Structure 1
Amino acid sequence: MPAASTGPGTASTGTGRRPTVIASHVDVVYRVNGAKGGRGSAVAALSRIARRGGSPGGRRVHAVRDVSFTAYRGEAIGLVGTNGSGKSTLLKAVAGLLPVESGHIYTDGQPSLLGVNAALMNDLTGERNVQLGGLAMGMSREQVRERYEEIVEFSGINEKGDFISLPMRTYSSGMAARLRFSIAAAKNHDVLLVDEALATGDRKFQKRSEARIRELRAQAGTVFLVSHNNKSIRTTCERVLWLEHGELRLDGPCEEVMREYEKFTAR
């Protein structure tokens, strides 16, 4: 039976650093129906298992293997690895969106996952999505009203017209991604998990986003950042977890891990 993710409060360590996420020997496994595998992501596969009760003839795919780490308040942690290394799967497990096959994940506070595919409602206007998204992130209606103009300005989607009053289906992927990040970044988080959400923005927006991540970190939150942009990782994070084939290959200071990772990818 899979071990359930839980979220108890965690005590301070002897060094005075307060853990926010503890992953202990975490395995995430999904099953692909059919003898030769199947289509879709790990999330889709796990959803099918939940609906159908699994398939005894399915192929087991080990997405995350025996991963352990502890994250602390005030840290910004980058996750790097080649495609299919398990980065996004691990973030979803930390957020409680994927069950773990074995091991445990403990969190102090509520993790919030911001991904490039985070759901907004295409038939509603950007304005309405800001309101609903803010409420979904745990803000009160008054807080959403107070921060509305700041969210829109940060996103930059009105720089070339009144797009905030148009349905989301009229937005480019970059505009939608910027609005998603702006909504999430308007609130301070205990643990913010950012999965490639900065990849579709232009350089100007990326710089604003990196600065905001540093602010969140300075306000004693913990930020995890998945990105294929090594410069963004270096600019934003002081610690990096390098995953490869679902295994944690290195966990250490940003420059040290990135140097080894870049040697590996240059081969």
Structure 2
Amino acid sequence: MTPDTDSHPAVMTAADGHEAGIGTATVVVDDIRVSYRAPSTDAEDLHTASMAQKILLGLTGQRPKVRVDALKGISFVARAGESIGILGRNGAGKSTLLRIMGGLETPTSGTVSARSNPVLLGVNAALIPDLSGERNVRLGCLAMGMSPQQVEAIIPEVIELAGIGKAIYRPMKTYSSGMSSRLRFAIAASANPDILLIDEALSTGDAAFKERSENKMTELRRAAGTVFIVNHAAQVIEEMCTRALWLVDGELIGDGPGPQIAHDYRWWSWNIAKDKPDKAATILATCREKWKPAGVRIQRSESRTLPYRHARGV
């Protein structure tokens, strides 16, 4: 439902707090920072460029490079039994954070520790576009370590969860992006991973797929797993996550209950979309204070107990 200025309540209150201490630590993200240099077309950057940079621009057309801080000291502890949504507008750093947790990117500094190898949806399964969905289910499950006997037993469940009908027998290159995402989710979830990372895939599909995917994630959490969901659609986080992390320009500004964080995020985003920057700024300032993760402190002893360690920056 689209909010309006008369009926929509102000920022929600932090009454109960999220499910802190729900289980043992599964992922510890400790002061992750990502910085890189990129060309800029900003006139101010050109004005402040060094003489050498200006000469280089005149000779080659190469623009001066500026420092971009994609992630700014992100720290949090994820626990068994949590489903954690990661919210933020485009460019906030959501996918970068997920890829670092999955071990696909190395941060500039900081570390990620996990008690098992996180499964990043759509990457861990080695799928081949020219093969049918059914053949790719077999390949994907084998790639995640299942035995041939386990694969045969799990195939009907994967096909049912994906819910793409007769398309399962057609080459994957004929699938829409939504169909492909649904199949990848079904394959990744079928392995019952301890830590599952999902990037946008659950925005696709009908109500039936939504219900099946929610049930599967609940099953994973009840088995003491941890699920991360990156999505720009706050409704997905509101409905599926027990906890949410809110990123703004690479900074973690909020950590709290999924429904409440998602509610506040939607209200903030709506004001931005309606060209109400002052109202949006007020909401953001309030949320920074209310949901600030200042109480999050990494216990070194907790981090050291996690056997799988990766993404250590230099």
Helix, strand or coil for the counterpart of 2:201?
coil
Partner in structure 2 of residue 224 of structure 1: 228
Partner in structure 1 of residue 95 of structure 2: 88
Q: How does 1:15-94 map to 2 (within 5 A)?
A: 17-32=23-38, 34=39, 36=41, 59-94=66-101
Q: Equivalents in 2 of 1:84, 1:180: separation in Å?
A: 24
Q: How does 1:102-181 map to 2 (within 5 A)?
A: 102-115=109-122, 120-158=127-165, 161=166, 163-181=167-185
User: CA shift at 1:151, angstroms?
Assistant: 0.9
Partner in structure 1 of residue 256 of structure 2: 252
1:103-147 alpha-carbon deviations (Å, 9 max, x no partner): 111111110111499763111111221111111222222111110
TM-score w.r.t. length of structure 2 = 0.68
User: CA shift at 1:181, angstroms?
Assistant: 0.9
Asked if 1 retains the 8 angstrom alpha-carbon contact of 2:125 and 2:188, the reply is no
Q: Equivalents in 1 of 2:34, 2:194: separation in Å?
A: 24
Distance 1:70 1:166, change over 3 A: same
TM-score w.r.t. length of structure 1 = 0.80
Q: Equivalents in 1 of 2:178, 2:125: separation in Å?
A: 13
- Structure 2: which 5+ residue stretches go unaligned? 1-20, 43-63, 272-314
Structure possessing the higher radius of gyration over alpha carbons: 2
The alignment covers a number of residue pairs equal to 230
Asked if 2 retains the 8 angstrom alpha-carbon contact of 1:116 and 1:197, the reply is no
User: CA shift at 1:36, angstroms?
Assistant: 4.4
Q: Which amino acid aligns with 1:112?
A: V
Helix, strand or coil for the counterpart of 2:183?
helix
Q: Which amino acid aligns with 1:75?
A: E
Asked if 1 retains the 8 angstrom alpha-carbon contact of 2:70 and 2:250, the reply is yes
Please state if 1:212 is matched with 2:219.
no
Asked if 2 retains the 8 angstrom alpha-carbon contact of 1:17 and 1:72, the reply is yes
Greater share of helix? 2
Partner in structure 2 of residue 198 of structure 1: 202
1:135-168 alpha-carbon deviations (Å, 9 max, x no partner): 122222211111011111221222xx3x222211
Q: Equivalents in 2 of 1:81, 1:35: separation in Å?
A: 23
User: CA shift at 1:198, angstroms?
Assistant: 1.3
Aligned-CA RMSD value: 2.2
Asked if 2 retains the 8 angstrom alpha-carbon contact of 1:177 and 1:201, the reply is no
Partner in structure 1 of residue 277 of structure 2: none
Asked if 2 retains the 8 angstrom alpha-carbon contact of 1:243 and 1:249, the reply is yes
Partner in structure 1 of residue 307 of structure 2: none
